[in-house]
Amino acid sequence: MAVFAVLAISVRAQTIEEPAKQVKAESNDTPDFRVEKIPVAGGAEIITIFARNENFGEGLRDGAMEIPLLSVMRDTLGDDRLENDRLRYVWVHSYTKASFWQKAAAFVPFLYLRTTNKKDFGSAPPPHVVDMNSNHSGVWGQVLWVVFKRIILGEMGVGPKASVLQYRQNSQDYRRTSVAKALTVLSLFESVGGEKILSDAESKDIQARLWLTDKTFGAMMPDEELNRVYDKELVKKRDRRGLNWELLRQYSEAQGLYFEPMEMPDGTARHATVWVAAEDLAVNKGRKFESRFLNIKDPWNDERLTNWKGYTQVKWFDDEDRIVEPNSANAKPKTLIPLALYGLDNPKIPTILVDFRDTRNAKRREMSRRVLNDLTNSVISVSPFGSLPLFLGKFAYDLLTGRRGTDINQASRLRSYAQLKLLLALDATIDVNFRDEIAARVEKVSLNPLENDLAVEAALARRQYSNLIEYAKRNDGLPARLDRDRREEMVKLTHSRKRRTLYTAAHFLTLGLYTHRETATPEMLAKLDIRRQLNYHERVINEIAYRSAKPEVDSDVSALKRSLRFVAEYGSDASEKTARSLSKIFAFSEDEDIRSMCLAGLFEIDDSAAKNQLLAMYRNVNINERWRTICANYLKRALEEGQRISTRDATAIAEITVDSGN
């Protein structure tokens, strides 16, 4: 029996009644997870994932039967058409603005502990952890921070500089923990069977955007690339977990210990526990212990284990030391003592999160590189220009520990702690005493004054969810914000890239006081509708072109034809990448309709790259003469209509016209 039993998850969508509107959704009777959708005035909806369990009242100590985990706002433009929907904000309800005393503590240099909880939850909505709209905000923010750090902070003394850098690091780490929680929730949500309010594609997009939050140019990643980001990260994480699983299992069993993974509903394990049997202590006394990858002290010669007063579990084993049911033949009971709990997401080796004999073990590892980084950034100010030897020494140390996978303040430890805290709140099947034991030790390891403990996070999540709903009901709240976002989105419809860059620069140079927005007229809303639909269909075409070897065989043909038809009718502003994708699909497909619509789309796209693709097809003697003739006719029409064509291609098209005339 695993420490964390596999959660049986299903979704029940609840009907929510507003004063003038009612939302209907599918539901079923399993109450472990609940998904809720409520309307927002102006044409949007908030989708919230709740965790529900009959045992939560006891587990959370405040009588609660569910926790709102995560909310997403979907801008629907007020209709039922999926193609023009756009995901906007993602809220993690335990993520909040810090209290005054938490902020004050977060400014204290080299203070690595949680000092207090947030007591006054207030009435403000929660801050979002990510905006799904791809933009330049993150890049500009990084640029302004580097300028501020080099020019302004560089002129201050060590004290002010250390305080500012300490607060920034704490803020970033606090946000990272919330991002990790959101990723865990969505991973669980994906494992749910049946129809869901939040589709699998949307869930994957959110996860990809969350993974990109720490990337310098992540905010600029176009939506059509998110699927590839998701696939790449998913494979990477599965490989890491598989490697760490085997490393931890093999080394544990080689030392005579017991390895037990904590499996999730999707079959993966992000954590594992290593145990020692009390009956084995006397037998193995004096045995040499190899701590490689385990990073714990010798259990065979530890008197604390001989006189252990802490948590234990009794399990039954057969003659080959496999866990069996108590009534199995030759089953023998053993009293297991927990030694350590590990995270399996680290790139190189398992990360120790909880040492049940030495709480300071994990904390020392958590603090070590943080202290080194704070010293070199705040006090010594190591740089390649002012202190080259120290800079090279730090670079060599980081390279060595990174290559070897040393378990010292890996970024994955932060994520693993966040995932572990979330699982402790969600999984009511775990023994209450063991859950409390883990939770207490996790709280002692925390380095961030901005964090709150597990019980406070649960109450905070429910309060912030209520605040968000109230904010959504106010005319000057979320509906007004939705209107501003749409008007800002309309800027792309009327201004060139250079002009938009100037507007973005003005926004950040004025510290957000100026933001250019268009006037939301019915005509602009119609253009926005078409633009969003075009984005959707371009994405379908580009993804099929990237993945497909023969579209009519390995792709959704009806979806592809629908997208091709839309581009052929409304695709004048489609991108150069879409033009290349149409050409690729034409080359791979043998379907007459698909090929015809690809050529029609290339004609409709008012871009020189599209006409260049048509010209290349016309010149390709390996293409059937019928298709080459269609290409020639489209090229002539494009030239007559004054579409964008390069000078060289225009000359070639003119020659085609002359030749056909002769």
Asked if 359 contacts 291 with a C-beta cutoff of 8 angstroms, the reply is no
SS3 of 347-410: CCCCEEEEECCCHHHHHHHHHHHHHHHHHHHHHCCCCCCCCHHHHHHHHHHHHHHHHHCCCCCC
Asked if 527 contacts 492 with a C-beta cutoff of 8 angstroms, the reply is no
Q: Which residue has the higher pLDDT, 409 or 564?
A: 564
- The predicted model gives 519-525 an average pLDDT of 94
Percent of the chain with pLDDT over 90: 42
Q: What is the pLDDT of residue 145?
A: 73
- Per domain, the residue ranges of the chain are 11-213+451-486, 237-426, 522-661
Query: What residue type is 70 in one-letter code?
Result: L
Asked if 373 contacts 367 with a C-beta cutoff of 8 angstroms, the reply is no
Q: Which residue has the higher pLDDT, 185 or 266?
A: 185
Q: Is the pLDDT of residue 413 over 60?
A: yes
CA separation (Å) from 223 to 212, 366, 542? 12, 35, 11
Which residue pairs from 222-229 have beta carbons closer than 8 angstroms and sit at least 24 positions apart in sequence?
A: 222/134, 223/134, 223/535, 223/539, 224/538, 224/539, 224/542, 224/543, 224/577, 227/201, 227/543, 228/546
What would the two tokens of residue 540 be?
């379908």
Q: What is the pLDDT of residue 59?
A: 42
* Residue 29 binned pLDDT confidence (cut-offs 50, 70, 90): very low
In 2-148, at which residue ranges do the beta strands (DSSP E only) sit?
Answer: 11-14, 16-18, 21-23, 33-40, 44-52, 66-75, 86-92, 130-131
* Lowest model confidence (mean pLDDT) among 41-55, 139-153, 214-228, 373-387: 373-387
Residue 643 φ then ψ, to 5°: -70, 165
The length of the chain, given as a count of residues: 662
Question: How far apart are the two ends of the chain, measured CA to CA in Å?
Answer: 84
Q: What is the pLDDT of residue 135?
A: 66
Q: Residue 228 contacts by C-beta under 8 Å, 6 or more apart in sequence?
A: 546
Q: Residue 576 contacts by C-beta under 8 Å, 6 or more apart in sequence?
A: 607, 609, 610
Distance CA 161, CA 609 (A): 51
What would the two tokens of residue 179 be?
């991002």
- The predicted model gives 337-346 an average pLDDT of 90
- The predicted model gives 610-630 an average pLDDT of 93
Q: What is the pLDDT of residue 129?
A: 92
Phi-psi label, residue 447: left if phi above 0, alpha if psi -120 to 50, beta otherwise? alpha
- The predicted model gives 478-487 an average pLDDT of 95
* Residue 195 binned pLDDT confidence (cut-offs 50, 70, 90): low
- The predicted model gives 7-31 an average pLDDT of 34
* Residue 64 binned pLDDT confidence (cut-offs 50, 70, 90): low
Residue 184: strand, helix, or coil:
helix
- Please, which residues bridge with residue 37 across strands? 47
Put simply, whether the predicted model's pTM sits higher than 0.85 gets the answer: no
Q: Is the pLDDT of residue 440 over 90?
A: no
Q: pLDDT for 285-336, tens place per residue?
A: 989 999 888 989 999 999 999 889 999 999 888 887 788 888 888 888 999 9
Residue 146 CB: number of other CB atoms within 10 A? 10
Q: Is the pLDDT of residue 275 over 80?
A: yes
Residue 250 CB: number of other CB atoms within 10 A? 12
Q: Which residue has the higher pLDDT, 96 or 25?
A: 96
CA separation (Å) from 68 to 49, 93, 127, 141, 299? 6, 7, 15, 30, 41
Distance CA 573, CA 605 (A): 6
Q: What is the pLDDT of residue 25?
A: 38
Q: What is the pLDDT of residue 257?
A: 94
| Strand-pair category, 11-14 with 33-40 | parallel
Distance CA 507, CA 504 (A): 5
Distance CA 306, CA 335 (A): 12
Task: List alpha helices for 212-277, DSSP H.
Answer: 226-254
What would the two tokens of residue 493 be?
């419809």
Residue 596: strand, helix, or coil:
helix
- The predicted model gives 606-614 an average pLDDT of 94
What would the two tokens of residue 466 be?
């209520």
* Residue 458 binned pLDDT confidence (cut-offs 50, 70, 90): confident
Average confidence score pLDDT of the chain? 82
Q: What is the pLDDT of residue 53?
A: 57
* Residue 422 binned pLDDT confidence (cut-offs 50, 70, 90): confident
**Nearest-CA neighbor of 8 among 245, 192, 187?**
192
Residue 647: strand, helix, or coil:
helix
* Lowest model confidence (mean pLDDT) among 101-115, 253-267, 538-552: 253-267
Q: Is the pLDDT of residue 630 over 60?
A: yes
- Angle made by CA atoms 375, 377, 379, in degrees to the nearest 5: 50
Q: pLDDT for 122-171, tens place per residue?
A: 889 999 999 988 666 666 677 777 777 777 776 677 778 888 888 888 99
Q: What is the pLDDT of residue 10?
A: 32
Q: Is the pLDDT of residue 395 over 70?
A: no
* Residue 622 binned pLDDT confidence (cut-offs 50, 70, 90): very high
Q: What is the pLDDT of residue 140?
A: 67
Query: What residue type is 75 in one-letter code?
Result: D
